[in-house]
Amino acid sequence: MPGDTTDTLGKGDVVSNESLANLLKEERRFAPPADLAAAANVTGAAYAQADADRLGFWAEQARRLTWDTEPTETLDWTNPPFAKWFADGKLNVAYNCVDRHVEAGNGDRVAIHFEGEPGDSRSITYAELKDEVSRAANALTELGVQAGDRVAVYLPMIPEAVVAMLACARVGAAHSVVFGGFSADAVASRIQDADAKLVITADGGYRRGKPSALKPAIDEAVAKCPQVEHVLVVRRTGQDTAFTEGRDVWWDEIVGRQSAEHAPQAFDAEHPLFILYTSGTTGKPKGILHTSGGYLTQASYTHHAVFDLKPESDVYWCTADIGWVTGHSYIVYGPLANGATQVMYEGTPDTPHQGRFWEVVQKYGVTVLYTAPTAIRTFMKWGDDIPAKFDLSSLRVLGSVGEPINPEAWVWYRKHIGGDRCPIVDTWWQTETGAMMISPLPGVTATKPGSAQRALPGIGATVVDDEGHEVPNGGGGYLVLTEPWPSMLRTIWGDDQRFVDTYWSRFEGKYFAGDGAKKDDDGDIWLLGRVDDVMLVSGHNISTTEVESALVSHPSVAEAAVVGAKDETTGQAIVAFVILRGSASETDTLVGELRNHVGATLGPIAKPKRIVPVQELPKTRSGKIMRRLLRDVAEDRAVGDVTTLADSSVMDLIQNKLPSASSED
């Protein structure tokens, strides 16, 4: 539970305030480009409008959707924290994402430009997508799937993943997408928890230039899940695939022979749309439940407002995997509800070469790019010359999501990808929030490198201290959400009590996000990472994010991960693992210089006790650093469970480094 580990934050964070002052010293602000501001989808007036009548504001945004029965109620908050939004409205989510664009005369518009890793590509129009989703919906019905059922989806980044999700939504079955990199056990526990009766998978997908099988993991998982009646298998790689007669069905066979006519039925606004499991650092994964009308309203509005998305002219690309919430809200539901044209890319950024992303931007004329800080830092490490070889002049808005973006990466992104002209929107949100909550607006906000800045119109967010009191500008503490929002999680699947305990018990009447944050002198919000990641050194709270940010602001450091290790004298000691940039070589002098650099940036108390140069950092497949494993190394323990690591050999490399690790006492 986040509440167990958070009672150290918010007391003496002198160091953190100094560092913030430091970051702001140069007063770096970037005004929105005048042409973008002049034609922006959303102007500054939205804040005032939402402040004056928050529920009226959301009722108006709900009209972005096409309802079968228009809602007359906006929010029912009579039984907090269990919210109902637009409860008397009825709609079909898939109809909103597909059919209505065809009916509006935009059937020939490309919905998805698919780019496979091996270089195959195909473009799918909204009319084609409508036919395919309808056929898939008919196939689900033939396989016995009904409204209210659950369907597990375990697919690579191919258009069928989008079609499968929309087909579920169309027939009123909740999907539970499990990221294709997860193990058979992880899939099995998620299938069991959601009690899914159908699994949709593929023979395999392409990764790093090779076909990578998916079906064997499903065979192993389904062996433990007797409730699964059928496995629907998309042919992607054509590799040899074991097939269980009677249970397994080929997608092209069953979907291919269906009618392209399917009448979408309207469901209640609060009808379940999907369950998505969040990893969580401890305990069994939480099945986050999202419902239909409120979720789609906020996914659509934020995609329109934060990316300034113009469906007639923009080419949008979100590089996330469909298995994460970013893929749900900003590949599937937000963009498609808005009738956007988007790029979907199957593979890794360095296959077959390190310029692959920029080649894709150039090929499709991508105008809006949404990616993660971990990817941006990797591109920085690979070198400025790589993006420089491609024409990136089509880009006009850049987004970031997933973790705090350090100011250096922000500035690099703006300069080397955005040509010093594109605004950057640093969007804070969570699987639980369903859609963006804190972010600049590209036509309104003067942006600050490293800050997500302020709550979007209609959203209430602030920073509170240990007692739940709002901190003044300049203060630090915990990020909380102060008002219910349309795309909020409705519960943890099958565990209402855990929902209440995890999010709504730490601070009375407020949603506890589990992130540390602070407000600067203007009241803008800076995210400081998960509160579990705060270190307590000689009685001072120091955030791992800030020490990492200080380290990567040194020209020799490409990436850094910081942990607190038990220390007899200081309680915790700061241990930093760093990846050096191409040209920097690993010397004691450099390590000493880095320590002093952190000391000069944040104050002497924040100087790492040890700095260990490494080749790679342990990350989950969604790019989050697994500090738990680094803590094991720093405290000289056997390394714990590595099954959720993207590359499990990384820990061996790091441990082998330790004898030569530089340490200073």
SS3 assignment, position 450: coil
Stretch of residues binding ligand WT7 (CB under 6 A), selected from 338-346, 395-403, 550-558, 582-590: 395-403
Nearest to 301 by CA among 477, 121, 104, 64: 64
426 is in an annotated binding site: yes
- Concatenate the DSSP letters of all residues of 587-623 into one string: -HHHHHHHHHHHHHHH-GGG--SEEEE-S---BBTTS
Q: Whole-number minimum distance, CB 336 to ligand WT7, in Å?
A: 18
Per CB under 6 A, contacts with ligand WT7 among 451-480 are 452
Q: Cα(495)–Cα(497) distance, rounded to whole angstroms?
A: 5
Residue 426, interface with ligand WT7 (CB under 6 A)? Answer: yes
The residue among 267 and 324 lying less far from ligand WT7, judged by its C-beta, is 324
Contacting ligand WT7 (CB under 6 A), which of 126, 357, 379, 428?
428
Residue 402, interface with ligand WT7 (CB under 6 A)? Answer: yes
Nearest to 531 by CA among 522, 519, 518, 521: 518
The residue among 171 and 513 lying less far from ligand WT7, judged by its C-beta, is 513
Per CB under 6 A, contacts with ligand WT7 among 361-390 are none
Q: Cα(358)–Cα(393) distance, rounded to whole angstroms?
A: 11
Contacting ligand WT7 (CB under 6 A), which of 132, 193, 270, 403?
403
608 is in an annotated binding site: no
Residue 326, interface with ligand WT7 (CB under 6 A)? Answer: yes
Tell me how crowded residue 216 is: count the other CB atoms within 10 A of its CB.
13
| Strand pairing report for 150-154 and 198-202 | parallel
Q: Whole-number minimum distance, CB 252 to ligand WT7, in Å?
A: 32
Residue 138 structure tokens:
């008919």
Q: Write down the number of H helices and E strands in the chain.
A: 23, 31
557 is in an annotated binding site: yes
Q: Whole-number minimum distance, CB 426 to ligand WT7, in Å?
A: 5
The residue among 126 and 511 lying less far from ligand WT7, judged by its C-beta, is 511
Q: Cα(295)–Cα(290) distance, rounded to whole angstroms?
A: 7
Tell me how crowded residue 274 is: count the other CB atoms within 10 A of its CB.
29
The residue among 133 and 425 lying less far from ligand WT7, judged by its C-beta, is 425
The residue among 438 and 612 lying less far from ligand WT7, judged by its C-beta, is 438
Contacting ligand WT7 (CB under 6 A), which of 506, 530, 554, 595?
530
510 is in an annotated binding site: no
Per CB under 6 A, contacts with ligand WT7 among 563-622 are 622
Per CB under 6 A, contacts with ligand WT7 among 118-177 are none
Stretch of residues binding ligand WT7 (CB under 6 A), selected from 61-69, 138-146, 210-218, 424-432: 424-432
Alpha helices per DSSP H over 102-172: 126-142, 159-171
Q: Cα(327)–Cα(323) distance, rounded to whole angstroms?
A: 6
Alpha carbon 489 to chain centroid, angstroms:
15
Q: Whole-number minimum distance, CB 303 to ligand WT7, in Å?
A: 13
Q: Whole-number minimum distance, CB 385 to ligand WT7, in Å?
A: 28
Q: Cα(214)–Cα(220) distance, rounded to whole angstroms?
A: 11
Contact 402, 427 (CB under 8 A): no
Stretch of residues binding ligand WT7 (CB under 6 A), selected from 79-87, 397-405, 596-604, 631-639: 397-405
The residue among 102 and 369 lying less far from ligand WT7, judged by its C-beta, is 369
427 is in an annotated binding site: yes
Contact 504, 482 (CB under 8 A): no
Number of residues engaging ligand WT7 in binding (CB under 6 A): 21
The residue among 172 and 323 lying less far from ligand WT7, judged by its C-beta, is 323
Residue 527, interface with ligand WT7 (CB under 6 A)? Answer: yes
210 is in an annotated binding site: yes
Buried b / exposed e along 618-645 (16+ C-beta atoms within 10 A): bbebbbbbbbbbbbbbbeeeebeebebb
404 is in an annotated binding site: yes
Q: Cα(611)–Cα(594) distance, rounded to whole angstroms?
A: 8
Residue 2, interface with ligand WT7 (CB under 6 A)? Answer: no
Q: Whole-number minimum distance, CB 604 to ligand WT7, in Å?
A: 27
Stretch of residues binding ligand WT7 (CB under 6 A), selected from 384-392, 421-429, 634-642, 645-653: 421-429
In sequence order, the 6+-apart residues with CB closer than 8 A to the CB of 626 are 618, 619, 620, 644, 645
Residue 278, interface with ligand WT7 (CB under 6 A)? Answer: yes
What's the N-to-C CA distance of the chain in angstroms? Answer: 34
Residues in touch with ligand WT7 (CB under 6 A): 278, 324-326, 401-404, 426-431, 452, 513-515, 527, 530, 622
Residues that constitute the known binding site? 207-210, 326, 402-404, 426-431, 515, 530, 538, 552, 554, 557
